[in-house]
Chain A
Amino acid sequence: MKQMNKKLATATCALALSIAAITAQASDTIKVGVLHSLSGTMAISETTLKDTMLMLIEEQNKQGGVLGKQLEAVVVDPASDWPLFAERARELLERDKVAAIFGAWTSVSRKSVLPVVEELNGLLFYPVQYEGEESSKNVFYTGAAPNQQAIPAVDYLMNELGIERWVLAGTDYVYPRTTNRILEAYLKSKGVAEADIMINYTPFGHSDWQTIVSDVRRFGGEGKKTAVVSTINGDANVPFYRELGAQGVSAEDIPVIAFSVGEEELSGIDTAPLVGHLAAWNYFMSIDTEANDEFIDTWHAFTGDTNRVTNDPMEAHYIGFNMWVEAVTKAGTTDPSAVQEAIIGVTVPNLTGGYAAMMPNHHITKPVFIGEIQSDGQFEVVWQTPSTVVGDAWSDFLEGSKDIISDWRKPLSCGNYNVVTKTCSGQNFE
């Protein structure tokens, strides 16, 4: 009996110790939420970003963490299910008390998380190019707004390649629809006739492109130099490019410029028939800088696979994470309100040899690159903007949004301020 008691005592003691250890650890680390789908349709793109975040956190911890504390990643899986994004975000903020969330890919998943981070005053760093028309106090948009990707791409085609006819092809959801609306307005403002613009939408995962490619071929064969501006998303790209190759549409006749096809997407395609087609991004793996080399080496070491590619949203997370670290250090606390105030104006190096600054509208400055696909699945930069471009939350080419600005500095503190009526409206204000 005595022996039993002793055992029990040891056990209790051990238990108490381990609980103490857990709580001690909890107060000694800063938790960072990683909200990317690890299963379901979006896993193809988002798993890489989860790994990127784990790598960035590991590297930061090697340098001593933040504010003298180690960072701890809390990874959750919203399973490509949009309402689940909101639920998981709530868990991260309420249960795990994370200091910031890095995550989401599709616009609908961001829209689903938005009310949660606003209600609980969290921080969300969103790393993917998107359609704009949004600026929230609690969200930082480290991917490209339309004026940082789509507009410069169209400028390049128009001025450098002399394109006169346009096919705007996209998957049927909010990002392509809004982007194409902006592009259509922009093209018309440049004097392109209605008859020279063809707009086409296809369902998610569309796999039979025969008719559309053949239409494009006919549209482009009518004498004027034609290009396709593609906002086709994810899995639908492979059959699309395959059909282009099969029907013999070469980049020299009808170039296709894509906003959603990067190194990662190309690693799943036989690129031989695609050589010369274009993509517009703010980062390419092939860009030759020391910072980029180092990033790629770290990535290869972290994944243990030297064939893994890097891409634009990964750089966006790199920039977003470094900005957050900088802002937390500057504010001396991880308190979201303090970080929101401190992060505006923070400047960190990007991977392509310049600097990214967080603007008052919660978007960042980015250089824009146009790259041509090479046979090894990499891009060769053929053009870049002379300087960085400031992300514009509200497009200047859409009726109803051109008078709106966003500025989260005091005293304005508004994401949706109409300069004509001088009112702050919508959900995006304090």
Chain B
Amino acid sequence: MKSRIKHLMCALGLLVLLLCAVQPAFAKSDDPVLLELQTLLVSSNNQDRTKAIELLTQSQHELAFDIYGLLLEGKFFFNRTDNQLYLVDRAEAGQSALHFLDERDVTIERPRDFRRVALNNAQRTQIRRVMAQTGLTADSNKIRMKAVRQMMGDPDPEALSLIRAAYTSETNGKVRELMAVAIAIDTVTQTDEAAQRDAIDTLSTSLEPRARNALNQFVSQTDNASLKELAEKGLIGIEQKIKFYKGLETVYFGLSLGSVLVLAAIGLAITFGVMGVINMAHGELIMIGAYTTFVIQQLMPNHIGLSVLVAIPAAFVVSGLVGIAIERGVIRFLYGRPLETLLATFGISLVLQQAVRTIFSPLNKTVETPSWMSGMLEFNPVFAITLNRLYIIIFCLLVFFALLMILKRTALGLQVRAVSQNRAMARAMGVRSERVDMMTFGLGSGVAGIAGVALSQITNVGPNLGQAYIIDSFMVVVFGGVGNIWGTLVAGMTLGVANKIMEPWAGAVLAKILVLVFIILFIQKKPRGLFPQRGRAAEG
């Protein structure tokens, strides 16, 4: 109950904020432009909405940009019973709606009465173009870059003259370069040969797709042989650079796929690798971690960014406890009987899946990506790194080294290694092997839960999540060498990169098969994997 009230308060707070932002602006209910706008926007005809945007652009209304923003965010609703325009934050029963013109607050009773003023792609492009022109004078370099890029494709000659005007006063080097390219795209189609030559030079240094297209077009149309040669040379240079960056991109994609594989497999590297338990429910422990993230986000809906961080320890604890329960309840009776362990844990995996279906429904759940994780790190127009993947690579390495430290530097790690190497001797030395088994399995399961938090950011959170990763996880652990977590890291990254290198020419389906065939052949040759354990422990 308490959380519900909190939820409501937060929602109201947001709405008040929204209203405050727009309230002083919309104080004129007899403004003819706004009245006309209302009739156009509540119409169910798509063309009327296009007209509404044109009307706003032409009228140069002082509120035009606020209205554009609200339209893009989808905050405008109309009530089909009275055909009036409202501003609504959330169209749910009990929420309030603000009348667009006379600013009265209305409580929503039937959410279906309120229809969103929906835009289509053409209308969104229309608005973005208009907004881009003001973006040219924005303070932020990023916004100015975006504006120039948006206007590059604009056939409107006014856009070009705006860029020319802005070019002279631009101080930031990168933005200036981009503007030069935009101008060159136009210049190259003119007739002044010296200017054309300069323009081709400018375009040849740019990796913008539009610059390349302009050059391509120029080559196919021009009659001037020397200019044509120059442009062709420029194109070859661009192609080479693109090839280089494409290679770089493939490696990055490979590392990122690899880090996902390592995260999924690293828990298994402990339970299967160190303890020798074939745990088919490993995937479901990952799934439980992902669902924990979902639940945490539900509990703190206004702190999405923080929720992911909170989910990491929470998922570790939840999955760890489930793992301990599995170990205490089932696996400890089956040590030394791998076939029965395999069947029993497979059964557990089905039970866990169906349990999740019953509790959360079989539908996928939405886990939101926090704003600090979305977006790209753009180096140039052909090479950009997606932030969510970058964080996952870093996260994977952190988890890996933390685990390495636990195994190498803590008392628990020492005991785990002792038990796995020689159980009888360890017991003789006073190690409580049963307790160590329990803790090790809990640790492996908890790490699987942490992997679930990361996976919730890139894939489905649904009952089948675990199944998708169980085979890959075993593959990585076996390939890397059972009992060696360094092997898991190297194997995961190798498989990731190999997969990504093969994918462009073999296709995703064949690439997967080829990797599998490769592993089978490799295991024939080296049955103990990349990094086999040596010494007496390996024989026992």
Contacts and interface: CB of A to CB of B under 8 A. Distances in A.
A235 B462 contact: yes
Nearest to A223: B213
Contacts of A10: none
Given A238-B459, A296-B112, A382-B46, A47 B362 contact: yes
Contacts of B361: 47
B366 A215 contact: no
- 3 A-B pairs with the lowest CB-CB distances in the bound complex, closest first: A268-B364, A221-B209, A380-B118
B124 interface: yes
A261 B295 CA distance: 25
Chain B CB within 10 A, most for which of A208, A243, A269, A378:
A208
B507 A41 contact: no
Interface stretch (B190-198, B250-258, B525-533): B250-258
Contact of B458 (A38, A205, A242, A378): A242
Nearest to B472: A207
Contacts of B209: 221-223
Contacts of A306: 93, 111
A247 B112 contact: no
A206 B508 contact: yes
Interface in B433-475: 458-464, 467-468
A212 interface: yes
B285 to A, nearest CB: 18
A161 B500 CA distance: 33
Interface in B242-285: 249-250, 253, 256-257, 260
A39 B351 CA distance: 11
B253 A210 contact: yes
A247 B363 contact: no
Contact of A211 (B362, B461, B500): B500
A208 B252 CA distance: 13
Interface stretch (A27-35, A196-204, A317-325, A390-398): A196-204
A208 to B, nearest CB: 5
A252 B354 contact: no
Given A205-B464, A210-B253, A268-B462, A44 B364 contact: yes
B504 A246 contact: no
A59 interface: no
Interface string B378-412: 00001010111100000000000000000000000
A200 B386 contact: no
A71 B389 CA distance: 53
B134 interface: no
B186 to A, nearest CB: 16
Contacts of B99: none
B250 to A, nearest CB: 7
Looking at chain A, what size class is its interface with the partner chain?
35 or more
Given A210-B253, A210-B257, A246 B386 contact: yes
A374 interface: yes
A336 interface: no
B512 A203 contact: yes
A375 interface: yes
A251 interface: yes
A239 B460 contact: yes
B374 interface: yes
B493 to A, nearest CB: 14
16 contacts: A200-B507, A200-B508, A203-B508, A211-B503, A214-B253, A222-B213, A223-B216, A242-B458, A247-B386, A248-B384, A255-B121, A267-B366, A270-B368, A374-B116, A375-B73, A380-B118
Contacts of B362: 38, 43-44, 47
B508 A201 contact: yes
B352 to A, nearest CB: 13
A268 B121 contact: no
B91 interface: yes
Interface in A212-268: 212, 214-215, 218, 221-223, 235, 238-239, 242-243, 245-248, 251-252, 255, 264-265, 267-268
A246 B389 contact: yes
A207 B286 CA distance: 15
A269 B460 CA distance: 8
Interface string A268-285: 111001011000000000
Interface of A: 38-39, 41, 43-44, 47, 161, 172, 200-203, 205-208, 210-212, 214-215, 218, 221-223, 235, 238-239, 242-243, 245-248, 251-252, 255, 264-265, 267-270, 273, 275-276, 288, 293, 296, 306, 372, 374-376, 378, 380, 382
A208 B468 CA distance: 12
A279 to B, nearest CB: 13
Looking at chain B, what size class is its interface with the partner chain?
35 or more
B459 A207 contact: yes
A218 B364 CA distance: 31
Contact of A270 (B74, B125, B366): B366
Given A44-B462, A221-B209, A235-B460, A208 B504 contact: no
Given A172-B509, A211-B504, A376-B116, A247 B376 contact: yes
Contact of B74 (A205, A247, A273, A375): A375
Contacts of B512: 203
B115 interface: yes
B137 to A, nearest CB: 23
A180 to B, nearest CB: 14
Contacts of B388: 246
Nearest to B74: A375
Nearest to A267: B363
Nearest to B257: A208
A211 B364 contact: no
Contact of A201 (B216, B256, B507): B507
A273 B375 CA distance: 11
A268 B460 contact: yes
Contacts of A235: 364, 460, 462, 464, 468
Contacts of B503: 211-212
Contact of A208 (B74, B112, B260, B368): B260
B508 A246 contact: no
B168 interface: no
A378 B77 CA distance: 14
A212 B462 contact: no
A288 B500 CA distance: 46
Contacts of B216: 222-223
Interface in B115-130: 115-116, 118-121, 124-125, 128
A317 B504 CA distance: 41
A203 B364 contact: no
B217 interface: yes
Given A239-B460, A268-B460, A380-B120, 7 more contacts: A172-B509, A239-B458, A243-B386, A247-B386, A251-B121, A251-B124, A306-B111
B503 to A, nearest CB: 5
B388 to A, nearest CB: 6
A238 B290 CA distance: 15
A41 B462 CA distance: 10
Contacts of B468: 205, 207, 235
Given A222-B209, A268-B363, A211 B253 contact: yes
A293 B110 CA distance: 12
B39 interface: no
Given A43-B463, A203-B512, A252 B376 contact: no
Contact of A252 (B74, B91, B125): B125
A276 B460 contact: no
B417 interface: no
A207 B382 CA distance: 23
B77 to A, nearest CB: 10
B357 interface: yes
Given A205-B468, A252-B128, A247 B384 contact: yes
A223 B508 contact: no
B298 interface: no
Contacts of B112: 293, 296
B498 to A, nearest CB: 13
B365 interface: yes
A168 to B, nearest CB: 13
Nearest to A242: B458
